[in-house]
Amino acid sequence: MSTTPHIAYLDNGDSTQVLPEVIEEMLPHFTEWYGNPASLHQLGLRAEETLDEAREKVAGLIGAKPAEVFFTSGATESNNIALEGLRRLHPKKKHVLISPIEHASVRNVVLRMEKEGFVELEELSVDGEGLLILDSLREKLRDDTLFVSVIHGNNEIGTIQDLRPIAEICHEKGALLHADCAQTFGKIPLNVKDLGVDLASFNAHKLHGPKGVGALYVRKRLKLRRLFEGPPQEQGLRPGTENVPAIVGLAKAAEIAVRDMDEVMPQVNELTKQLADRLQEIPHVQINGPEIGSKNRLPGNLNITFKYIEGEAILMSLNYGGVYVSSGSACSSRSLVPSHVLTSIGLLHEEAHGSIRYTLSRLNTQEDVDHAVVETAKAVERLRAMTAFIPEEHSKRESEHATTFYKQRKEKLD
Q: Tell me the catalytic residues.
A: 331
Three-state DSSP state, 169: helix
What is the helix (H) or strand (E) element at residue 317, kind and residue range? helix 311-320
Three-state DSSP state, 239: coil
Inter-residue contact 318 to 6 (CB < 8 Å)? no
108 φ, ψ (degrees, to nearest 5): -70, -30
Burial of 128 (0-12, 13-18, 19+ CB in 10 A): middle
Inter-residue contact 72 to 86 (CB < 8 Å)? no
Distance CA(393)–CA(27), nearest Å, equals 59
How are beta strands 120-123 and 145-151 bridged, if at all? unpaired
> In one letter, which amino acid is 152?
H
Q: At what angle do helices 42-62 and 244-279 cross, to 10 degrees?
A: 30
- For the beta sheet containing 355-359, the strands, ordered from the edge strand earlier in sequence to the opposite edge, are 285-288, 301-306, 355-359
Number of C-beta neighbours around residue 17 at 10 A: 13
Three-state DSSP state, 9: strand
CA 255 centroid distance within chain? 19
